[in-house]
């Protein structure tokens, strides 16, 4: 049997990871030499000096920053805006506490990927067996399926702000995204979508220009405000779900694996995970402050449409607020609308050892292609339900993610403490305290919400 060619460690990889972590087809080797060392065929090509200066930091801040920022999509904007409009600055403290737990969980996923070189569902199958794998896959399908629907709902809401009916835009966009991923070059187009989302950087500016009551902002940041009101707990769970949606944990670990992070050189990935979590939540808090300073102060406590949410950008954009919001919402939804179904199809295929990849022929990849097509079709079809309450639906999907989140956290915490898998990279006592405390707090919020909802139905 011929020895399998390998790429020497530390040289240029044969795969390229796009902005959303998708792997492109390996490019043909056009230069370099082949060496035969002890019967093993090794390619040497394109030696490059290590990046320095700003390029070094741009390479370090990769998967973590992208994964955590993915939460600021259509569902995220709807949930953060609803929190600010309904409760003003009262829930900022939740985001502060959540940032700590968020950073810890994302770093654990990053470390799992670096230590094992395998995705989360692959590890669940090995550690827990087929039964628990089926359960975990069910959680991922429900969570990611819901978020996929929210992305197409966001596409429809954004295009209607631009004067195009969702009954035209959603099917058209679904077909285009499907074609780009399967036959086109989504990895190139996604950079355009990513640029469109940069308009959400207007939120920190809007949060300042709206002249919020900074004393109340500080009060909401450092003094916890807790209520057993059903709506209050509902929106808290929504904040948990949209910030730490299970998709982001799966994405973080898979991105680290695809990047080829080394167990021996693990360190920059930790910084990436921490920075991404903090940066993402600063943007989220800006959305809450901007919305509180405009809609809450004006007495508009319920957001029913994208047009309502766009008003939070009026201090910075004036009459162009709707246009600016529509562009950002459309870019965020397009970016995730293609990535989420594909990432979910990869995860499910990985869990059961099914051949996966957009470069497979149909005979070998029919299950993978079928999964991807089904997610796109179901997401688009659900977004076309007549008279759908857009923003309440978006928030409701994030609440569902919050309910499912503790289950995924248990899998992560058990795996990260498995010495056989992790060796020296297993959790420290301090990290375990933070991790299990995060799990306990989220679980308590979910149980409280479910209890209040059931009590309300019974007494109702």
Residue 66: the pLDDT is 54
CA distances from 273 to 269, 383, 459 (A): 6, 32, 45
* Cα separation, 438 vs 199, whole angstroms: 32
Burial grade of 357 (CB within 10 A; 0-12, 13-18, 19 or more): middle
**Sheet containing 40-44: which strands, arranged edge to edge?**
6-7, 40-44, 33-37
Structure tokens at 169: 């835009």
DSSP string, 387-398: T--HHHHHHHHH
Residue 170: the pLDDT is 96
Q: If one looks up domain 51-459 in CATH, what number appears?
A: 1.20.1740.10
In Å, the largest CA–CA distance within the chain is: 77
Residue 97: the pLDDT is 94
Burial grade of 26 (CB within 10 A; 0-12, 13-18, 19 or more): exposed
Helix (H) or strand (E) holding 7: strand 6-7
Paired with 23 in beta bridges are 17
* Cα separation, 273 vs 104, whole angstroms: 8
* Cα separation, 158 vs 141, whole angstroms: 25
Comparing C-alpha atoms, which of 263, 272, 277 is closest to residue 105? Answer: 277
Cβ atoms of 293 and 210 closer than 8 Å: yes
Residue 36: the pLDDT is 42
Structure tokens at 183: 């036959």
Q: Where in the chain is the domain with CATH 1.20.1740.10?
A: 51-459
Comparing C-alpha atoms, which of 203, 133, 183, 161 is closest to residue 353? Answer: 133
- What is the phi/psi pair of residue 33, to 5°? -130, 155
Judged by DSSP in three states, 202 sits in helix
Q: What is the mean pLDDT of each run of 10 residues along the chain (460 residues)?
A: 42 39 40 43 43 43 50 83 95 95 92 89 90 92 91 93 94 92 72 72 88 94 92 95 86 76 77 83 92 92 88 87 89 83 85 81 86 94 90 91 94 94 92 96 95 86
Judged by DSSP in three states, 371 sits in helix
DSSP string, 307-350: HHHHGGGHHHHGGGHHHHHHHHHHHHHHHHHHHHHHHHHHHHHH
Alpha helices in 198-317 (DSSP H): 202-209, 214-222, 230-243, 246-259, 268-291, 306-310, 314-317
Structure tokens at 415: 């795996």
DSSP string, 39-95: TEEEEE----PPP-HHHHHHHHSSHHHHHHHTTSSHHHHHHHHHHHHHHTTTTHHHH
Comparing C-alpha atoms, which of 451, 417, 456, 453 is closest to residue 435? Answer: 417
Predicted structure pTM score: 0.81
* Cα separation, 246 vs 424, whole angstroms: 26
**For the chain, how many residues are written?**
460
* Cα separation, 84 vs 301, whole angstroms: 8
Paired with 42 in beta bridges are 6, 35
């Amino acid at each position: 049997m011929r020895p399998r060619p390998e790429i020497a460690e530390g040289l240029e990889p044969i795969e390229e990871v796009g902005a959303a972590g998708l792997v492109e087809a390996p490019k043909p080797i056009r230069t370099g030499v082949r060496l035969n060392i002890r019967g093993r065929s090794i390619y040497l090509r394109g030696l490059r000096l290590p990046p320095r200066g700003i390029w070094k930091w741009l390479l370090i801040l990769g998967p973590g920053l992208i994964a955590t920022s993915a939460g600021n999509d259509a569902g995220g904007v709807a949930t953060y805006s609803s929190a600010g409009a309904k409760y003003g600055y009262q829930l900022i403290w939740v985001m502060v506490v959540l940032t700590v737990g968020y950073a810890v969980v994302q770093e654990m996923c990053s470390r799992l990927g670096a230590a094992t070189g395998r995705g989360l569902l692959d590890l669940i199958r090995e550690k827990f067996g087929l039964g628990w794998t089926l359960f975990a896959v069910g959680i991922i399908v429900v969570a990611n399926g819901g978020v996929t629907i929210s992305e197409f709902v966001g596409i429809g809401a954004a295009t209607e702000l631009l004067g195009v009916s969702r009954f035209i835009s959603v099917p058209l966009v679904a077909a285009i995204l499907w074609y780009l991923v399967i036959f086109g070059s989504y990895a190139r187009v996604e950079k355009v979508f990513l640029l469109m989302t940069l308009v959400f950087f207007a939120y920190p500016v809007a949060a300042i220009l709206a002249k919020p009551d900074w004393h109340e902002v500080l009060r909401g940041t450092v003094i916890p405000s807790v209520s057993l009101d059903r709506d209050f707990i509902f929106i808290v769970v929504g904040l948990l779900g949209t910030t730490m949606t299970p998709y982001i944990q799966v994405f973080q670990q898979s991105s680290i694996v695809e990047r080829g992070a080394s167990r021996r050189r693990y360190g920059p990935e930790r910084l990436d995970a921490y920075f991404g979590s903090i940066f993402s939540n600063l943007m989220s808090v800006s959305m809450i402050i901007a919305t509180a300073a405009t809609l809450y102060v004006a007495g508009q406590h319920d957001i029913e449409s994208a047009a309502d949410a766009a008003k939070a950008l009026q201090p910075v954009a004036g009459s162009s607020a709707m246009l600016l919001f529509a562009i950002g919402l459309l870019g965020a939804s397009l970016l995730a609308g293609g990535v989420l179904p594909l990432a979910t199809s990869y995860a499910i295929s990985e869990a059961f050892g099914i051949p996966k990849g957009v470069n497979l022929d149909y005979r070998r990849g029919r299950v993978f292609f079928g999964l991807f097509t089904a997610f796109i079709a179901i997401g688009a079809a659900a977004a076309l339900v007549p008279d759908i309450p857009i923003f309440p639906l978006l928030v409701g999907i994030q609440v569902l993610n919050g309910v499912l989140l503790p289950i995924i956290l248990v899998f992560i915490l058990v795996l990260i403490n498995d010495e056989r898998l992790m060796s020296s990279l297993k959790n420290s006592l301090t990290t375990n305290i933070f991790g299990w405390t995060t799990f306990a707090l989220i679980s308590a919020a979910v149980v409280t919400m479910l209890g209040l909802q059931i009590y309300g139905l019974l007494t109702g």
